[in-house]
Amino acid sequence: MANYNKYGKKLVIGQDLGPYNAGPEWIWTYLEFKDNSAKTQTTVRSPTMMTPMDYWEIQVQGFHYCKLLSPYRALEWIYIDSQYDHNGRKSFEEKRREAWLPAPLRAAWQLTSGAVNAAGDQLKSRVSKVGTWWTSVTK
């Protein structure tokens, strides 16, 4: 616990995401972990799905869904994940990648992974727009 207090990136609970009132949209939206610019804290946000009491589908009226961070995952954050940015520790994935990739390939890997993440964000944005449209049609 001393290392977490001295070096660890603090985990902060943020505002909920959503509501994602189209079932698949909520199912495929995961907990969001975002670092601040100084990498001293990470904000975790959960997607929510809420249905009003007068929802057209009687079986799901008044439901509120959210995704939880398990106690085990919180402990894993405290003892392992929070230490990577400020305590000189590297994740297993970083160590593995550095062990077999020469420097030019490592740079290309970083560029490619950034492009893939950007493409995924664009796709998620489009899916969100469809979910918003579907929610407005089904009200």
Q: Which of 55-59, 101-105, 112-116, 126-130 has the lowest mean pLDDT?
A: 112-116
Phi, psi (deg, nearest 5) at residue 74: -65, -45
Q: What is the DSSP string of 30-99?
A: PPEEEE-TTSSEEEEE-BEEE--TT-SSGGGTT-EEE----HHHHHHHHHTGGGTTTSS---HHHHHHHH
Q: How far is the CA of 13 from the CAs of 5, 69, 74, in angstroms?
A: 17, 10, 11
> pLDDT, tens digit, for every residue of 12-27?
999 999 888 888 888 8
> pLDDT, tens digit, for every residue of 100-114?
666 676 667 666 666
pTM (predicted TM-score): 0.60
97 CB-near residues (< 8 Å, 6+ apart): 106, 109
pLDDT score of 47 more than 70: yes
Closest CA to 18 of 4, 2, 29: 29
pLDDT score of 116 more than 60: no
